[in-house]
Structure 1
């Protein structure tokens, strides 16, 4: 007996289905249990082979470096907004005394914030293009 679990259902219902599957497994005879173990092993092996053939197991050094730097990029992007607000507020204060310089600070801060948000996405696109050219 195969049990399908819909993961969009609430956690309690999923837990009940899992408990039911475990109970059904324990109530089966040894031959049925061995059959299910064989199905699980074959599925596990197929999944492993699929992952290896899709290249997940052979990630290049560049991919590992990119993955290692992702938290740092997220930190810089998340700090960009508060720093931009502070800089623009400073530009507004300076604008009271020197209008041209204040507008320049606000303009350059806005441009820097937008570039900071778009550069990681642009680099991902360029990395994909580089991979496609290598393949």
Structure 2
């Protein structure tokens, strides 16, 4: 029975982690076309780092919760674009845009969304199993 509760814990932690990932992707997509005057002021895309957390009380590894260990900025260089009429253009007529691939971010969003859905399904199945176990105990 306690293994089912551990599955809930693992799925809940994965849901939380995927939610952070979805929010990060949304932020990247929202800032994909922003412009800045300097490379240093340009938005840098963010990536979520996940970490599996080993449970000391669970030597069989039945449930390994997931957590976000950090969010890191991309090291990709901003893309200089010649736009002399842009209000943020520097003295040379360039604005700097983040090096964000909308296609990659959309793929990342779909992956996070599918992971989120899969963990919801795990939680629903576990709840169903727990309910059936309780019903068997009542009969």
TM normalised by structure 1 equals 0.35
TM normalised by structure 2 equals 0.34
Higher relative contact order (CA 8 A, sep 6+): 2
Structure with the larger helix share: 1
- Flag the structure with larger Rg: 1
Structure with the larger strand share: 2
